[in-house]
Amino acid sequence: MYEYKTEILTVGTKFWSDKADAKDAAELDDLLNERAAEGWELATYDYMATSTQIKGAFIVTFRRQI
């Protein structure tokens, strides 16, 4: 059996594009490594752009055995 934890990682402000960039990817790597050190593993993730194309976010779900 697993327990799950979902987090939202907001990315930097975008003015011309809603795409994630290298800085956003580095922040995601940091989050993944922090949670892995706590015993969590990545279950799913998605990048969510906003309709205004100014700020998006990663929604990241982790799991670990109970």
Between CA 15 and CA 65 the distance in angstroms is 41
Q: How many CB atoms are closer than 10 A to CB 23?
A: 10
Mean pLDDT of the chain: 85
Contact between 65 and 26 (Cβ < 8 Å): no
Phi-psi group of 18: left, alpha or beta (phi > 0 → left; psi -120 to 50 → alpha; rest → beta): alpha
**Mean pLDDT of all residues in 13-42:** 84
Domain count along the chain: 1
Between CA 15 and CA 6 the distance in angstroms is 27
What residue numbers bound the domain in which 37 lies?
2-65
**Residue 4 predicted with pLDDT over 90:** yes
Q: What is the pLDDT of residue 25?
A: 83
pTM of the model: 0.78
**Mean pLDDT of all residues in 9-37:** 81
More confident position, 3 or 27 = 3
